Structures are given as C-alpha cells and as structure tokens.
A and B are shown apart, each in its own frame.
Chain A
Amino acid sequence: SQQGEEDPQALSIQEGENATMNCSYKTSINNLQWYRQNSGRGLVHLILIRSNEREKHSGRLRVTLDTSKKSSSLLITASRAADTASYFCATDADGNKLVFGAGTILRVKS
C-alpha cells in the first residue's frame, strides 16, 4: 500500500493562482520529498523537508510538514502553464527506499 496519499487527486486552476496539494503518510519518517512528473517523463525532485523542519521554501514552492498529523502540503504560488504536471510526495518509509503517493494532477490553464 502507498505510504503517502495526495489530496486532491486532480486540481485545475487559472494561471497566476496558487495551487495547494496535500500529502498524508502513515509511519514515522526521517524526511519527506516532493517530486514533479511531466506526462510520460521521469520524476524530478522539487524539495526535501526533514522531520525536524516545519516549513521550507524554494522559489515559488513552499512546503510545510506537520509530523504530529503526519501530513505535508506543497504550495505553488503564482502558477504558470508550465507547472502543469503530476506532483508526488515521497517518504523514506523504512530508510532504505522512497515510497510515493498516488499523486496530484495539476492543470494550469492559461
């Protein structure tokens, strides 16, 4: 079963709007990562947040982590059509591997 579960499954917004995706996981983690995948392509690493961190920024990305609720959120500000992709959270379930959620499909309309 998946360690991380993203919510919503799909999100459609207008260019310039913010997009928020959520991820919940089941077991304790050392870190949580967010990845992006353009259709049929490989996954690209976006940002990593460690279990002792609560918030992290990278450009237009903002990630939060709440270990008490076992959840994380990814915020993309001022979205662009090029942000259209699937976004996955991944956790180091047992330290040796990354387990991915089902992903959120983001569509940014121009």
Chain B
Amino acid sequence: DSGVTQTPKHLITATGQRVTLRCSPRSGDLSVYWYQQSLDQGLQFLIQYYNGEERAKGNILERFSAQQFPDLHSELNLSSLELGDSALYFCASSVALPRAGNTIYFGEGSWLTVV
C-alpha cells in the first residue's frame, strides 16, 4: 500500500459526460501528480501541483482540469468525455519536487471507461 488513495477505482460513463477523480496523497506529501495510462499512448504526464499551486503541465487536454485543495487532496475533472479518454488515471504524490530526488508514490489508479 503506497498510501496514496484514489477514488473511484472503476467508472463507466457515457460520451459527453463529466467525471471527477479524487486523490488523497500520502500523509506529509506536498506534491501531487496526475498521469494517464492507455495502451496506445503509454504513461502520459498530465499535471502537477505543489502545496496547492500548479507547477507543471503536460499533455492535458483543455477539457480536463485539476486542482489541489488546502488539505492537499486533489481532483481531476474530465468533461465532454470521448471514447478515447478511456484509460487508467493515476495520482501520485511526493514530499517535494522530483529534482530533489524524491520518490513518487502511485495510487492504484482509477479505471475510466467511456461508452
């Protein structure tokens, strides 16, 4: 158990809908990361927050947004869902930033299926 909690574990929704994925980082971790993993795109970095502030942005679509709250938990909002958004979405956390050599701990992921 990494200590990173993600909900829901599985989610099936229709195209055009909106979903929210939630993440509770490990106790004491200030950095939260979101990754998308699909068969054709591999593990893609989406966005990173550090202590409530956005610090890095990757291949995140405009239809997607995220935030980190004062209690450090984070949410990833996916809207106007398309079939191609079906993927495993990971949240990860670390004490500080990767440049300092911090281990990043991953949650078990949220499986999203868009039908």
**A interface list, Cβ under 8 A from B:** 2, 30-31, 33, 35, 40-45, 48, 50, 88, 90, 92, 94-103
Check if B99 sits within 8 Å of A103, measured CB to CB: no
- Inter-chain CA distance A31–B55, complex, in Å, is 19
- Inter-chain CA distance A43–B106, complex, in Å, is 6
Closest 10 CB pairs between A and B?
A95-B99, A92-B98, A96-B56, A42-B106, A97-B56, A100-B43, A43-B106, A30-B99, A42-B108, A45-B103
- Inter-chain CA distance A99–B106, complex, in Å, is 14
Residue of B nearest to A2 (CB): B42
Which range contains the number of B residues in contact with the other chain? 20 to 34
- Inter-chain CA distance A47–B58, complex, in Å, is 24
Q: A30-B101, A31-B98 are in contact. Are A96 and B107 (CB under 8 A)?
A: no
Check if A92 sits within 8 Å of B45, measured CB to CB: no
Check if A33 sits within 8 Å of B56, measured CB to CB: no
Which one of A31, A40, A45, A97 lies within 8 Å of B45 (CB-CB)? A97
**B interface list, Cβ under 8 A from A:** 2, 4, 33, 35, 42-43, 45, 48, 50, 55-56, 58, 88, 90, 92, 97-101, 103-109, 111
Residue of A nearest to B47 (CB): A97
Q: Which A residues touch B50, using CB under 8 A?
A: 96
- Inter-chain CA distance A48–B100, complex, in Å, is 11
Task: Tell me the minimal C-beta distance from B21 to chain A in angstroms.
Answer: 14
A and B contact pairs by CB, cutoff 8 A, 13 listed? A31-B99, A40-B109, A43-B43, A95-B99, A97-B48, A97-B55, A97-B58, A98-B33, A98-B45, A98-B104, A100-B45, A102-B42, A103-B42
